[in-house]
Chain A
Amino acid sequence: MTEEQKISVLSVDGLTKDYPGVRAVDNVTFSIQNSVVHCLVGENGAGKSTLVKMLTGALAPTAGAMTVNGKAYVPTSPQEARDGGIATLFQELHVVDELTVLENLTLGMEKSRFGFFVKSDLEDRVTQTLATIEPAIDPAARVSTLSVAQKQIVEIARAASSGANIIIMDEPTAALSEREVARLFTVIRRLRENNVTVIYISHKLDEIFELGDTVTVMRDGKHITTCPLSDVDGRAELIELMIGRTVFQSYSPRGKIGDKVVLKAEGLNTKLLKDVSFDIKEGEIIGFYGLVGAGKTEVARALFGADTFDGKVIFHGKPGGKTPKEAIAQGIALVPEERRTQGLFTSLTIRENVPVMNLPRVTQNGVFKAEDVRAAAEEFVTQLGIATSSIEKHTEKLSGGNQQKVVLAKCLFSQADLLLLDEPTRGVDVGAKTEIYEIIKDLANEGNAVAVFSSELEEVLGICDRVFLMFDGCLQEEIENGPNVDIAHILNVVTGGQDEDAR
């Protein structure tokens, strides 16, 4: 329009990513202008991470094209992405603690000849970059002496001095205190003044309004809108854009919940959790809903005795187990968050995975009753509908959904009467998801208590009788599930909004 119009530094055109059975990113088209803070928002599973992975070269798109700084951009590795002008600040930091700030900044960029470093202006350049964005950090300091926030800034400086003019930040404030967040924002604003475009991903909507110039909203893999944040009318409108009207509520009250309290947690405190108290009744499915990092997994692990904590857990009137072994003996079982690394013995067969949590049931004097082990495995394969040719199949060869069912089988075999399910359907296809929900409901109908820890709202509202909303380690609110649940309110609470704002 006018000469004032900023040039577009990044544009994606028809970008699509297919996984078997799922379209994670669906024909996304938008562009970002130079020197802005561009926010990327959407619910969990909206396709943000997949999009970012394509931008950083970690995933190859199924279809579509990207243009960066006016050139076609087809990265196949983070290194190529950086050469193309895109650097990423991941949640886990990639700094070397044992080196100084300066050494970290020049790491991998040193020029050498015959294995010896060649003196160049590199050091001066990076020192200057660091001074521009955060003069308080001494380049000679050892990185191990810095705080998490300062390390993050070192990494940002590294990205900026590597020549990247687009920096992607994925939930950069997750581990920071309020004051550190303010400092990070100052750094981000300085970057913007120095012609760097920041793509900022966060679930905390307040941060987005405070910092962002423009925003892209994604939902179910689709691009909903890209616009200046000044055009968005507050949190309420942004939340509405994020969720649309698509949350499908399939919850029907089961009406079989007993009165007997199975487990009571009082004032659980850990590094992350703050004074978490609740109870679970017989035959009840309760949900813990919150975003990544809200503390759901921490609650599950505390109840299971897997982590140490302050506070009290009373299970069936007795103090809860201090180790997973004791918890299992009392009748608590956990389906952990990461099934491959925490739940399954992937190199072993289904038959060998099923009995682990309740060995006395299939052994006599320490010797396995082979027939009982086989019968147990066969029974669960049939009961849970595990798709496999035989119980002798290695679990690493099963699909995600069937692997999850094997983990469930392990827990069911322990005959627990409280099941803790951490992200029970993550990475599971739609068919298996429905089957797992049916299994959970059947369990509760038989009088077991079930706690579901999930970052999928649809899942929590689909099966849970009561839902606890978590944000930043706190139980913010307890809601009874039912047809009148206010989804906008829920999303407001779990993104850190105050009650008044929602109205």
Chain B
Amino acid sequence: MSSVTDTLPTRPTRSKMSDEGFISSLVAAVAISLFLIASLLVPNFFQWQNVVNLVTNNWAVIALGVGVSFLLVSGNFDLSVGGIVALSGVLSVWFAQSTEGANALSTGLGLPYGLAIACALLGALAIGALNALFVVRFGIPSIIVTLGTMMVARGIAQVITHGSQRNTNLPEAFGYLGNLSVFGTSIKFPVVLMGLLLVVAIFVERKMVFGRITYWIGANPEAATLSGIDRARHITKLYLFSAGIAGVVGILLASEYKSGFSNRGLLMEFDALVIALLGGVAIAGGFGSVIGMFFGAIILAVVTSAATGLVLSPDWQFILKAVAVFLAIVTQTWALARRNK
């Protein structure tokens, strides 16, 4: 019966979900299933508060994942975000510390807090500009460039903190933003910012010229240029965008801990990359979505926290993560190939 209606030339409808929608749903389904499995195994796992925690504990990595996903979709890597998190945090502390400290580590530039974070953000954007310069102007592969700037950023942070921390002589306002709770709940301001960022990113990705240009460039750079798209300009914007997010994350983390620590955000660039890949963003570019990346982050969070709940030694966490990543990526490849057969 249905076959008759199927073959009729009907008005083109959007009955078929896009491949990106399909993968995002798949990732979401995997995340939820994993959560349910973990609930069976781990006592007290199945709680609303635990669901909230999975998101709020990972706000930093999810936020970084947005910039990294956009760049991946355009066919470029950004491994510098972890280093930028350290750099901007350390810079915001150093700029805000008062000038008369007892020793070098407690003496800063004494800028007003607002100016201090603005300058720290500029420092982060400078790293983004450096990425863009080398990738776009000199045509160096982005994986190499951002590996380099990752070390540059963390290196500067290390010099400023003498390889340690700066946490004294800070103005009262410094710890405000990172610890601000909103709507009288335990949810903190940075988490709300991350939520806003996600919503905006999804809108930009689906509905805006800026988002679609990112996909066009990733899908076929040469055709994009011949279609009148200024690739160099767009990729520059993407690197600035990603570095800007990382800068804000660094500033908020520094505020939360009231310290600038040169090792903060260590390996975060890899976590951001992993959740994007888990979420179905294609490493070759042209495919993926921020929603998928978000559920990728949830998968990683469930695996990690379930492992902790099972009193598994922390030494095993890397292996668990690795297994989750391989399984997720193999499943996606298989499912997409099957669907498009």
B-binding residues in A (CB < 8 A): 304, 306, 323-325, 327-329, 334, 336, 341-349, 352, 356-357, 359, 363, 366-368, 370, 378, 389-392, 410, 414
Task: Decide: A347 and B287 in contact? CB cutoff 8 A.
Answer: yes
Task: Add 19 more A-B contacts to A306-B226, A324-B227, A346-B220 (CB < 8 A).
Answer: A304-B226, A306-B225, A324-B225, A324-B228, A341-B222, A342-B220, A342-B222, A342-B226, A345-B216, A345-B219, A345-B223, A346-B219, A352-B212, A356-B224, A357-B228, A366-B210, A390-B16, A391-B12, A410-B227
Residue B230 is within 8 A (CB to CB) of chain A in the complex: yes
Interface membership of B338, Cβ < 8 A:
no
- Out of B13, B16, B208, B224, which one reaches A368, CB within 8 Å? B208
Within B294-318, the residues touching A (CB, 8 Å) are: none
Q: Verify A367–B230 contact, CB threshold 8 A.
A: no
Does B133 sit at the interface, judged by CB under 8 A?
Answer: no
Contact status A392-B12, CB under 8 Å: yes
| B137 within 8 Å of A (CB atoms) | no
Tell me if A343 and B209 are in contact (CB < 8 A): no
Q: In whole angstroms, what is the CA distance A327 to B225 when docked?
A: 12
Instruction: Determine if A359 and B14 form an interchain contact, defined as CB atoms under 8 angstroms apart.
Output: no
Q: In whole angstroms, what is the CA distance A356 to B225 when docked? A: 11
Can you list 17 A-B contacts with CB-CB less than 8 angstroms, sorted by A residue number? A325-B229, A327-B228, A328-B228, A334-B226, A336-B226, A342-B222, A343-B226, A344-B223, A345-B219, A345-B223, A346-B220, A347-B287, A348-B216, A348-B219, A367-B207, A368-B208, A368-B209
Structural contact, A341 and B209, CB atoms closer than 8 A: no
A418 to chain B, nearest CB (A): 14
Complex CA gap A44/B228 in Å reads 31
B215 contacts partner chain A, Cβ-Cβ < 8 Å? yes
Residue of B nearest to A352 (CB): B212
CB distance from A423 to the nearest CB of B (A): 14
Q: Closest 9 A-B residue pairs measured CB to CB?
A: A328-B228, A390-B12, A345-B219, A325-B228, A356-B227, A366-B209, A357-B227, A347-B219, A345-B220
B255-307 at interface with A (beta carbon < 8 Å): 286-287
Closest partner residue, chain B, to A341 (CB atom): B222
Find the A residue at minimum CB distance from B203: A367
Chain A residues, CB < 8 A from B230: 323, 325
B212 touches A344 (CB 8 A): no
Size class of B's contact patch?
20 to 34
Contact B208 A367 (CB under 8 A): yes
Residues of B within 8 A of A410 (CB): 227
Chain A positions within 8 Å of B222 at CB level: 341-342
CA distance A356 to B222 in the complex (A): 13
Complex: how many Å from CA A329 to CA B229?
A: 11
Inter-chain contacts of A304 with B (CB < 8 A): 226
For the complex formed, measure the closest distance between the CB of B217 and the CB atoms of chain A, giving whole angstroms.
10
Chain A residues with CB below 8 A from B223, complex form:
336, 341-345
In angstroms, how far is the closest chain B Cβ from the Cβ of A370? 8
Give Cα distance in the complex from A324 to B226, angstroms: 6
- Least CB distance from B126 to A in Å reads 26
Q: How far is the CA of A489 from the CA of B227 in the complex (A)?
A: 38
Q: How far is the CA of A281 from the CA of B88 in the complex (A)?
A: 59
Q: Taking CB as reference atom, which chain B residue is nearest A329? A: B228
Evaluate whether A347 and B286 lie within 8 angstroms (CB atoms) in the complex, with A341-B222, A366-B210, A367-B208 already known. Answer: yes
Residues of B within 8 A of A356 (CB): 216, 224, 227-229
| CB-based nearest B residue for A388 | B12
Q: Is the CB of B212 within 8 A of A392?
A: no
Q: Provide the residues of chain A in CB contact with B227, threshold 8 Å.
A: 324, 328, 356-357, 410
Q: Which residue of A lies closest to B215 (CB)?
A: A348
A391 CA to B287 CA in the complex, in Å? 19
Contacting residues, chain B, for A306 (C-beta < 8 A): 225-226
- Give A306 to B216 CA distance when docked, in angstroms: 18
Residues of chain A lying within 8 A (CB to CB) of residue B287:
347
Complex-state Cα separation, A363 to B211, whole angstroms: 13
B225 contact set on A, CB distance < 8 A: 306, 324
Q: Which residues of B contact A347 (CB under 8 A)?
A: 219-220, 286-287
Q: In the complex, which residues 55-103 of chain B have their Cβ closer than 8 Å to any Cβ of chain A?
A: none
Hey, which chain B residues are within 8 Å of A345, CB to CB?
Answer: 215-216, 219-220, 223-224, 286
Instruction: Chain B residues near A414: list those with CB within 8 A.
Output: 228
Give complex CA distance A349, B216 in Å.
11
**A334: B residues at CB distance < 8 A:** 226
The CA-CA distance from A346 to B220 in the complex, in Å, is: 8
Q: Which residues of B contact A346 (CB under 8 A)?
A: 219-220
Q: Which residues of B contact A341 (CB under 8 A)?
A: 220, 222-223
Nearest CB of A to B121, in Å: 23
A366/B12 contact (C-beta < 8 A), A325-B230, A345-B220, A357-B228 known: no
> Which residues from A are CB-within-8-Å of B226?
304, 306, 324, 334, 336, 342-343
A363 proximity list for chain B (CB < 8 A) = 209
**Bound complex: CA of A359 vs CA of B228, how far in Å?**
10
Given contacts A341-B222, A356-B216, A392-B14, contact A366 B208 (CB under 8 A): yes
B229 touches A368 (CB 8 A): no
List the B side residues contacting A324 at CB < 8 Å: 225-228
- The answer for the CA separation of A325 and B225 in the assembled complex, in Å, is 8
Q: B44 CB to closest chain A CB, in angstroms?
A: 45
Q: How far is the CB of A446 from chain B (nearest CB, A)?
A: 22
Interface centre among B18, B219, B228 (most CB of A within 10 A): B228
Interface string of B176-212 (1 = CB under 8 A from A): 0000000000000000000000000000000111101
Closest to B231 in A: A325
Shortest B331–chain A CB gap in Å is 20
CB distance B12 to A368 under 8 Å? no
Separation in Å of the A49 CB from the closest CB of chain B?
Answer: 24
Q: Hey, what's the 0/1 contact readout for B220-243 against A, CB within 8 Å counting as 1?
A: 101111111110000000000000
A356 to B229, CA, bound (A): 8
Question: How far does the alpha carbon of A290 sit from the alpha carbon of B12 in the complex, in Å?
Answer: 43
- Considering the chains assembled together, what is the distance between the CA atoms of A389 and B220 in angstroms? 24
Q: Distance in Å from the Cβ of A365 to the closest Cβ of chain B?
A: 9
Cα-based distance from A66 to B225 in the complex (angstroms): 45
A264 CB, nearest partner CB in chain B, Å:
22
Instruction: Return chain B residues, CB-CB under 8 Å to A391.
Output: 12
CA distance A343 to B219 in the complex (A): 11
When distances are taken between beta carbons in the complex, the residues of chain B under 8 Å from A357 are: 227-228
User: What residues of chain A lie closer than 8 Å to B228, measured between beta carbons?
Assistant: 324-325, 327-329, 356-357, 414
Kindly provide the distance from the CB of A320 to the nearest chain B CB, expressed in whole angstroms. 14
